[in-house]
């Protein structure tokens, strides 16, 4: 049966995409919790070990748009498999490497694979289902991200502390190998774009709705990363430093709830959910600004923040896929780039705010960004965050 003509969600295929996202997030973020071990075994400082995260992000940032542009005509499943093979190779090298330089190269390769994979996921999920199920399919394909953040990374950090960091990367290599078989058996293949139908980056960027979605991604994710990156000093100022793990657990749990809610409702209420998510995050930022020294208020605000953030990637990717149409993969590569720029920007902007103005400046900065994002979504009624849903 042609997967695009059935009203049933191809769960086995979508969950394979979700596992791919899970492996990607784990590969990206796991070193952050194991820096002392990694630095000690590779003979470098924790600061240098931290650059294993940085070069991964650089690989994603540099690779996503060029790779998707030059591979528009390549069949989709071999391209997806190539990205997963990249993870298997990079994590295997990381598992056995005793050289810091070689490990950096492997991490850069993993970042390149991540840039390719993230650009493929949403478009792949949407092509496997009919129009009125696209949002739900993307939500299922993206569930690996909050699962990795809320469960995978804490579990991986614990496992690394018990058995060593190399065991964690070895397990991720095995997961990638298993995923290769799963993709080959369960995920349908799709043709690439015919030569006459391929659009340049410039043409895709100027499609109606693309620029509003990308602006909202930048503003929303920048606001998120300012707070998420510097949550520890923020909580320290509120005398809650010893509760950082619990606060992040609350965030992770409500993020899972958020992606479930989005998955159920997105195909009918994309625009409303996007507005609600941004408004909820803004409300959380306001509460943190006004009552950031009250533990109950902090927990409630963080829960609202997690709920707003959990389904955000799905909302943005669905809006972008709808606006881009046949150019969805190239458009998603722009989203990957915007997302990584916002991650880097969160570290830079948040650091400047922290050093110059203190954590009290976080709430106003977040509100400025989120109000701007809310305005752009509100104005993008015709394209990007259209008033009509997939089912209309």
Domains of the chain by residue range: 11-191, 201-379
Q: Which residue has the higher pLDDT, 126 or 182?
A: 182
Put simply, whether the predicted model's pTM sits higher than 0.85 gets the answer no
pLDDT at 4: 46
Query: Comparing 25-34, 183-192, 356-365, which segment has the lowest mean pLDDT?
Result: 25-34
Q: Does residue 158 surpass a pLDDT of 70? A: yes
Q: Which residue has the higher pLDDT, 102 or 64?
A: 102
Tokens of 130: 């009919």
Q: Per-residue confidence at 391, pLDDT binned at 50, 70, 90?
A: very low
For the chain, what percent of residues have pLDDT higher than 90? 37
* C-alpha triplet 170, 176, 181: angle, nearest 5°: 135
Q: Give the class (CATH, top level) of 201-379.
A: mainly alpha
350-357 long-range contacts, CB within 8 A, separation 24+ = 350/225, 350/226, 350/227, 350/229, 350/230, 351/230, 353/226, 354/230, 354/233
Task: From residue 306, give the alpha-carbon distance in Å to each of 82, 254, 311.
Answer: 33, 5, 9
Distance CA 24, CA 115 (A): 10
Tell me the per-residue pLDDT of 88-143, one tens digit each, with 9 for 90 and over.
Answer: 999 999 999 999 999 999 999 999 999 899 888 888 888 888 878 888 888 888 88
Distance CA 179, CA 18 (A): 10
For domain 11-191, the CATH architecture is Up-down Bundle (1.20)
pLDDT at 389: 44
62 sits in the region (left: phi over 0; alpha: psi -120 to 50; else beta) called alpha
Distance CA 145, CA 113 (A): 16
Tokens of 38: 């990694």
What is the arithmetic mean of pLDDT over 347-368? 89
Q: Do domains 11-191 and 201-379 have the same CATH topology?
A: yes
């Amino acid at each position: 049966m042609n997967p695009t003509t059935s009203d049933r969600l191809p769960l086995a295929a979508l969950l394979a995409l979700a596992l791919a996202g899970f492996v990607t997030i784990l590969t990206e973020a796991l070193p952050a919790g194991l820096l002392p071990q990694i630095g000690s075994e590779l003979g470098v400082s924790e600061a240098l070990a931290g650059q294993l995260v940085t070069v991964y992000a650089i690989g994603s940032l540099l690779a996503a748009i060029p790779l998707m542009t030059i591979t528009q005509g390549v069949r989709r499943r071999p391209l997806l498999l190539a990205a997963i093979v990249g993870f298997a190779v990079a994590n295997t090298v990381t598992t056995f490497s005793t050289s810091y330089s070689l490990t950096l190269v492997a991490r850069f390769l993993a970042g390149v694979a991540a840039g390719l994979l993230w650009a493929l996921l949403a478009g792949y999920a949407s092509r496997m289902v009919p129009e009125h199920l696209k949002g739900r399919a993307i939500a299922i394909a993206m569930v690996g991200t909050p699962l990795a953040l809320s469960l995978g990374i804490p579990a991986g950090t614990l496992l690394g502390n018990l058995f060593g960091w190399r065991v964690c990367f070895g397990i991720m290599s095995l997961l990638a190998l298993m995923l290769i078989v799963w993709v080959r058996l369960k995920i349908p293949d799709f043709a690439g774009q015919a030569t006459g139908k391929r659009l340049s980056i410039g043409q895709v960027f100027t499609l109606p709705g693309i620029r509003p979605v990308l602006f909202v991604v930048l503003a929303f994710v920048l606001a998120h990363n300012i707070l998420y990156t510097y949550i520890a000093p923020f909580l320290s100022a509120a005398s809650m430093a010893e509760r950082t793990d619990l606060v992040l657990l609350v965030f992770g749990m409500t993020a899972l709830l958020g992606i479930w809610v989005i998955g159920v409702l997105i195909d009918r209420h994309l625009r409303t959910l996007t507005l609600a998510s941004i408004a909820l995050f803004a409300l959380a930022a306001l509460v943190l600004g006004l009552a950031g020294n009250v533990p109950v208020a902090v927990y409630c605000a963080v829960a609202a923040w997690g709920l707003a953030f959990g389904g955000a990637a799905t909302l943005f990717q669905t809006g972008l896929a709808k606006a881009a149409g046949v150019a969805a993969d190239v458009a998603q590569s722009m989203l990957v780039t915007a997302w990584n720029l916002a991650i880097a920007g969160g570290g830079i902007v948040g650091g400047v705010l922290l050093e110059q103005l203190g954590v009290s400046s976080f709430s106003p900065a977040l509100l400025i960004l989120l109000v701007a994002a809310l305005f752009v979504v509100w104005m993008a009624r015709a394209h990007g965050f259209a008033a009509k849903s997939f089912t209309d």
